[in-house]
Structure 1
Amino acid sequence: MGASTSTEQKVPMEQREAENLAASSGALPLLHKAFSKLADPHSNAIPIQSLQRCLCMTYNNPNCETSSVSDSFIGLLDHVGPSIVDLFFVAEKGGVRWVEFVKGYNKCCGRISSSVSLNILFRVFIIAAKKAGFPVNLDFEFEDDDCKINGSLLPKDVLVLLWMCWTMSWDFKVLKFSRGNTNLFLPDVSHLVLSAVTSCAEVGSGLDVWNCDISSLEIQLPVGKFLTWALQTLPSLPDCFMQFVYSRLQSSVAEEDKLESSSSSTPVISSPKARSSNLLTCGIAWAISLTIRSAVSEELLRTYFVIDAGEKDENLLYKSSLHGRGLNRFWSNIAGYQGASVILISATTRDTDEGSSNERKWIIGALTQQGFENKDMFYGSSGNLYSISPVFHVYSSTGKEKNCVYSHLHPTGRLYEPHPKPVGIAFGGTLGNERIFIDEDFARVTVRHHAVDKTYQHGSLFPDQGFLPVEALILEVEVWGLGGSRAKEVQDMYKKREDLFTEQRRRVDLKTFANWEDSPEKLMMDMVSDPNAVRREDR
């Protein structure tokens, strides 16, 4: 006991507190390995250049889903690593020593609140942008970790910030599958940029979200409003930065193992362009994943971070243009799937302006935490509604009511119902006044004002929705399973059982068929001869 206490007292209080904080997040073993790998054995400190190289992102000629990439964005990526080191890792004469290394990690990746994490992400963006010569009208106080940020952003600044976060997420995923030598792909995030613009811009800006060029917009977005929007709409956005720092340190430890396996075939991440025909594009999947903190988020991104480009879309449960329209075709593909899923609906409406024949296309969606069930009432405990395109918004459950999902087929075994329930799929609202209702033919979708709905938060599901119900023509419906491999295995077992039962029902028992007493001909003759006879009820 005495020797142990004496040993503990030799460790400075500052070092002990930093190590305890790192241990609480589970990162202390990794930090020990990374420090021993990066540190100079003579000075027992990490040279600044080594730490900067460890955290540096260098991607040449990235591919973009929609528009070209400016050189200023590439320059910004080159300065992300040095900016992180300058902000959080205090260097002495020989470099960054152990205590400062641990304290620096705790500052940017320790157990901190979401608001502080977002603040840290902004500080990295501001410093990297200024180093790259990318002008941003933002500034902050250097003295305080939770400092106040002043200024405003332009829509093009928001685009670069989101792309920087996506690149960190991309880098984190790439390091799982390859040595980081894949080309960077930048998704279309215009729906997120327009979400920030419509939420943060001053009232009366006169923005036409149906036809606008983000790069040319000069609308000022106050940074305070933008931070509030980011915390409410994209709560997982700061995780991109923390995952990036952690994965880069982890990569530095495993560098020797990667070099040893370099002679073997390196897995290649397929380009999301190969899947651009789906409603669930790379940008939409990333946006939805940023609204949730669970394994569902990983399943969404896994759709676009597969190893083999020819791998089948196992998560795609149903697509109307592929599997056929209608509730029956929908049910034959999603029946038995009991995991979380996301459904996307692409629809079109005509412009309400007089004399206009323009069609407006939009996409809405819903995230469910359980599988679809054939019920004549609402069910479910939680979920989200999404306005996806052209503007992204998320409306989570309020907890006041639990009318999350409604999915009802035609009743079987009954020829007449005095009060038939609606046949189709719905989300929110009440029977007859659903917030979203898809008819049984998957031909039309009806969207109602949020006043009829107490299950999900208020807000428009597409721009200029109005107060009256809107009936739109459905272009496409997709359902993606997010329950992982286990949910898919359970569904496969369910389908095998159903196929077996169907095959058994098709078989004819010749002995029973040959028995006159059980034959349909005898039953018909008995009914004709004595129709008032008391008979056993049909099963």
Structure 2
Amino acid sequence: MGASSSTEQKEVSPEQREVEAQAASTGALPMLHKAFSRLADPQEKAIPVQSLQKCFSLSCRSPILEPPGISMPESILGLLGHLGHSIVDLFFVPGNGGLRWVEFVRGYVNCCGRMAASACLNNLLRVFKFAAERVGLAANLWFDSDGAESKVAGYLVPSDLYALLLMCSSMCWSTRMNGASKSDKGAVFYVPDIENLVCSAVVSCAEGGGNLDPWNCDIFSLEARLPAGKFLTWVLGTVPRLPDCFSQFVSATLQCSVASEDEFGPSGSSSKDSNSEWASETHLLTRGKAWAISLTFRAAASEEILRHCFSCNSNEMNQNLLYRSSIHGKGLNRFWANVDGYHGPLLILISASCEDSHHGDTSGKKWTIGVILQQGFENKDQFYGNSGNLYSIDPVFNVFLPSGKENNFVYSHLHPSGRVYEPRPKPVGIAFGGSIGNERVFVDQDFARVTIRHHAVDKTYKPGPLFPNQGFLPVDDSILEVEVWGLGGTTAKKVQTSYKKREELFTEQRRKVDLKTFASWEDSPEKMMMDMVSDPNTVRREDR
């Protein structure tokens, strides 16, 4: 078979040696040997095309829409059923005797080999166009050649982009399920809320996109055109990990075919699982928002966010929720009691509502922003931190990476514990970016109001509006909800739990009073309290 022929140097052709070297550079050559041995016909020494198509097929039966009220054309979900055929037809081209070892490895290299990010994105767009044409979607994209280095022209419309993002999220879901336990293989696929990503691309790429009202628009009826060149720029600048969804899906699917003999990829089940309980809860961090944030950077924290997006265990994800204002109570003290001692990456989400007084709209428009910090909170009267990302999450998604000019990532200051006179007291609250007194984002100590300032005051994060039509003047809006999610894994949570137990022990020890240390009733604290209550204005002379 292919594995044995590759060891006999006299029979190895230069073409085979080249593709094996390219596959070996990715570390996947041993896995490819096993996958080929498992999928190939022993007599023909070639993989049947139908078997490989089944391997890459996605069966998402009865997916659950999130949010439930969204309406989606059936053709978009039908796109997923043609994913396997499209991948095989484009990349795994059989030779005269079928899909032999060389063609199989070449197909893998074309999908998952070392290549530029633009080439990965081209592969993704080619698969999308091929699958979309099979279900009657008019993907107006053209390629000047069949290779990954081909140039793409044409445009996408918002409904096409929605279908493309849905295809990517389903591939990401399949990748996670391939690595999940056997009991989780039949997990329900939740269609995430990705309208904020579509609105972001429309605002960035379409002509006149800045005039879009994201609070009152139907993305399936928008007639805006997103030129291919501008769309590529938007992907690489906003969601650079989006092309990885395709390459990771191909690699994980073949890996799964090695681990399981008679299971060719995950198949969604219409039965409810523990996810249903989690989906019914109204967290700020929905599956779609979690997936969008995970596409913006590569780090261990990104994997923790993906666990939230595709987790099958609601109890496990609830453990990562450190603070939620509607549950734990509003205010800096309540906030601090839940985040103190957590030394790991954090995701902070802030939802607020504003009134459009210029147009007489008093219903309030909701928006959500987020911040990712690589360290826990500290009680300081100055800015601190070494890294972080600022996000506009809803209704338009955008990411503002560090600019490298300043390091004012986070500010968190509580009231001084002692009665210390401060001629110029520092603001009490939490803030992100800017400087003291001119913070880009400032949350007051009661968690009642959030102030957003123009990016001109901030040299820490890159410029851009945090919500549509922000303007140049500071905006002071009402806070609806605040959430803090721990992204440090089980280790950071265990450290915080140990820290809290130690603090509770110290507090309990300080509360205990040994009455034997007092000589008589006259020296007891009860006597002192009763005297103060009876006549607090009595002049007392201190004993020297």
Separation of aligned partners in 2, 1:472 and 1:316: 24
Corresponding residue number in structure 1 for 2:23 = 22
What residue ranges of structure 2 are gaps of 5+ in the alignment? 1-6, 265-270, 532-538
After alignment, is 361-370 or 87-96 more displaced?
87-96
Amino acid at match of 2:299: S
| Structure 2 CA distance for partners of 1:240 and 1:494, relative to 1, 3 Å | same
1:362 aligns with 2:363: no
Shift of 1:61: 2.6
Distance in 2 separating the partners of 1:513 and 1:184? 68
Question: Structure 1 292/204 Cα, relative in aligned 2: closer, same or farther at 3 Å?
Answer: closer
Task: Give the structure 2 partner of residue 3 of structure 1.
Answer: none
Counterparts of 1:288 and 1:309 in 2: how far apart (Å)? 20
State the shift of 1:311 in Å: 5.0
Structure 1 partner of 2:63: 62
Q: Who is 1:487 aligned against?
A: 492
Cα deviation, 1:60-116, whole Å, max 9, x if unaligned, reads: 232211323322123211111111111111201332111121111111111222111
SS in structure 1 of the partner of residue 22 of structure 2: helix
Match of 2:77 in 1: 74
| CA deviation after TM superposition for structure 1 residue 507, in Å | 1.1
Q: What secondary structure sits across from 2:396 in the alignment?
A: coil
Aligned CA distance change for structure 1 residues 325 and 368 (closer, same or farther; 3 Å): same
Distance 1:267 1:337 in 2: 34
Equivalent pair of 2:277/2:314 in contact (CA under 8 Å): no
Cα distance in structure 1, aligned partners of 2:464 and 2:40: 53
Q: Secondary structure at the match of 1:216?
A: coil
- Corresponding residue of 1:92: 95
Equivalent-residue separation in structure 1 for 2:324 and 2:210 (angstroms): 38
- Within 5 Å, which residues of 2 pair with 1:317-396? 317-396=322-401
Instruction: Single out whichever of 428-437 and 500-509 deviates more from structure 2.
Output: 500-509
Check 1:59–1:106 CA distance in 2 against 1; reply closer, same or farther (3 A cut).
Answer: same
Indicate conservation of the 8 Å contact 1:177/1:267, yes or no: no
- Contact kept, 8 Å, 2:288 with 2:309, in 1: the verdict is no
Find the counterpart in structure 2 of residue 537 from structure 1.
none
**Pair 1:224 & 2:232 matched:** no
In structure 2, what is the Cα distance between the partners aligned to 1:141 and 1:78? 27
What one-letter code is carried by the residue in structure 2 that aligns with 1:63? Answer: I
Match of 1:500 among 496, 502, 505: 505
Amino acid corresponding to residue 134 of structure 2 in structure 1: K
Q: Which moved more, 1:11-20 or 1:164-173?
A: 11-20
Residue 113 (structure 2) aligned to one of 100, 110, 113: 110
Pairing 1:464–2:439 present: no
Cα offset for 1:13? Answer: 2.5
Residue number in structure 2 paired with 1:177: 181
- CA offsets, 1:342-367, max 9 Å, x none? 11111111103154323111111111
Distance between the aligned counterparts of 2:8 and 2:36, measured in 1?
22
| 1:406 pairs with 2:407 | no
Segment drifting more, 231-240 vs 295-304: 295-304
Please tell me the residue identity of whatever aligns with 1:114: A
CA distance in 2, matches of 1:153, 1:258: 35
Please name the residue that 1:135 is paired with.
138
- The answer to whether the aligner puts 1:428 opposite 2:429 as a matched pair is no
Distance 1:109 1:21 in 2: 10
Query: Do the aligned partners of residues 267 and 274 (structure 1) sit closer, same or farther apart at CA in structure 2, a change above 3 Å counting?
Result: closer
Q: 1:272 to 1:196 in 2, by over 3 A?
A: farther
What pairs up with 1:248-259 in 2 under 5 angstroms?
248-256=253-261
Q: How has the CA–CA distance of structure 1 residues 412 and 82 changed in structure 2, closer, same or farther, with 3 Å as cutoff?
A: same
- Is 1:53 the counterpart of 2:57 in the alignment? no
Residue aligning to 2:319: 314
Pairing 1:33–2:34 present: yes
Residue by residue over 1:261-283, the C-alpha shift from the partner in whole angstroms, topping out at 9 and shown as x without a partner, is: xxxxx995623763541011111
Contact in 2 for aligned 1:272/1:282 (Cα 8 Å): no
Alignment of 1:234-253 (within 5 A): 234-253=239-258
**Distance (whole Å) between structure 2 residues aligned to residue 367 and residue 100 of structure 1:** 43
In the alignment, the residues of structure 1 paired with residue 466 and residue 415 of structure 2 have an alpha-carbon distance, to the nearest angstrom, of 28
Specify the code of the residue in structure 2 equivalent to 1:418: P
C-alpha change, 1:355 and 1:78, in structure 2 (3 Å) is closer
TM-score (norm 2): 0.90
Determine the C-alpha separation between the residues in 2 that align with 1:53 and 1:510. Answer: 78
Residues 123-145 of structure 1: CA deviation (Å, up to 9, x unaligned): 11011111222111111123432
1:257/1:379 CA distance change after superposition, 3 Å: farther
Contact between 2:38 and 2:261, CA under 8 Å: does it hold in 1? Answer: no
Q: Percent identity?
A: 58
Partners of 1:391 and 1:513 in 2: CA distance:
65
Pick from 138, 142, 152 the counterpart of residue 149 of structure 1.
152
Q: 1 CA distance for matches of 2:487 and 2:149? A: 36
Q: Give secondary structure in 2 for the equivalent of 1:357.
A: strand
Q: Which amino acid aligns with 1:42?
A: Q
Distance (Å, rounded) in 1 between the aligned partners of 2:76 and 2:508: 60
Shifted more, 306-315 versus 93-102: the winner is 306-315
**1:154–1:484 CA distance, 2 compared to 1 (3 A):** same
Distance 2:410 2:313 in 1: 35
Contact kept in structure 2, 1:185 and 1:271, CA below 8 Å:
no
Q: Evaluate the alpha carbon distance shift between residue 358 and residue 480 of structure 1 in structure 2; reply closer, same or farther with a 3 A threshold.
A: same
Q: Distance in 2 between matches of 1:171 and 1:223?
A: 27
Partner of 2:287: 282
Map Cα deviations across residues 282-327 of structure 1 (whole Å, 9 max, x no partner). Answer: 1111111111111111111212433345556011000000000000
- Corresponding position: 1:437 with 2:438: no
Residue type matched to 2:430 in 1?
I
Contact preservation (8 Å) 2:389, 2:461:
yes
- Provide the secondary structure at the position in 2 that maps to 1:479: strand
Residues of 1 paired with 2:118 and 2:353: CA distance?
Answer: 38
Measured in 2, the distance between the counterparts of 1:128 and 1:498 equals 58
**Aligned equivalents of 1:442 and 1:208: distance in 2?**
28
Contact kept in structure 2, 1:391 and 1:463, CA below 8 Å: yes
From 145, 166, 171, the counterpart of 1:168 = 171
Counterpart-to-counterpart distance in 2, 1:464 and 1:502:
48
Paired residue total: 520
1:13 aligns with 2:17: no
Please report the TM-score for the alignment, with normalisation by the length of structure 1: 0.91
Q: How far apart are 1:528 and its partner, in Å?
A: 4.7
Report the CA distance shift for 1:196/1:257 in structure 2 as closer, same or farther (over 3 A).
same
